[in-house]
Amino acid sequence: MTGRVKKKLNQKKIDPERLRLLKRRLAQAIPEPKCELDHKNGWQLLIATILSAQSTDKKVNEVAPELFRLHPTPASLAEAPPGEIEALVKSTGFFRNKTKSIQGASRRIVEDHGGEVPHTLDELVKLPGVARKTANVVLGSAYRITTGIVVDTHAGRVARRLELTEQTDPKKVEAELCEIFPPKQWIDSGHRLVLHGRYVCLARAPRCAECPLNEACPSREEDASLPPGKRAAAEKALVESRGTNNALVASSSPQK
């Protein structure tokens, strides 16, 4: 798929009241969703997103500053010795392939786009190492250009648990989510699903009792422990601190 995703894939009727509750609670818990890959411009975000494959945003944020300090432009990164780049990004995993991708993408940006990251999905996915998810991240987070919804492992898991989709293929999950959320909400909704999955709706031990979406989630494993507002505030603090604020744990402790 290119451009805006095709619609009419989601044949399952979702209760509108439950959907409104989900949207409202997500927005309350994560009012200002942001990509957690640190960046100063679209090119840095593109490189960071490529490096994040099979890695974590935290690890990429540790590696990227030195990479961009030594190579602050696409031209500089493209011309660098591959061995040097491999050493810089090694801790993110698959470092040889990632080096080829980030140098190849940088080279194409210089040669084909005058050193500027292209602003269309069709052009971005032609760059080495760039698939639809990466393009959506860059366009949405760096330029606020709406082309779709970012669907990573976290977002897909949350969408299935909330029964917003039964699909497992990220492209099909994205297409169904784009039916549910209006285009003006695509960018923020994608980030909210990612962040909610990263900090609350965990893969192995979801924090159902502390989850703001508890009452609207058909997959919840236990009932809520606190009022919705307190649960939303706790998740907001957790997201804003990138997981360092133990508000969720504290909020679920017995009150004295």
Kindly list the catalytic residues. 133, 152
The Cα–Cα gap between 81 and 35 comes to: 30
Residue 72: Cβ-neighbour burial (10 angstroms; 0-12, 13-18, 19+): middle
Exposure of 17 by Cβ count < 10 A (0-12 exposed, 13-18 middle, 19+ buried)?
exposed
Cβ within 8 Å of residue 20, ≥6 positions away = none
CA distance 66 to 44: 12
Amino acid at 209: A
CA 49 – CA 19 distance, rounded (Å): 30
Alpha carbons 78 and 60: distance in angstroms, whole number: 19
Q: Which helix (H) or strand (E) holds 12?
A: none
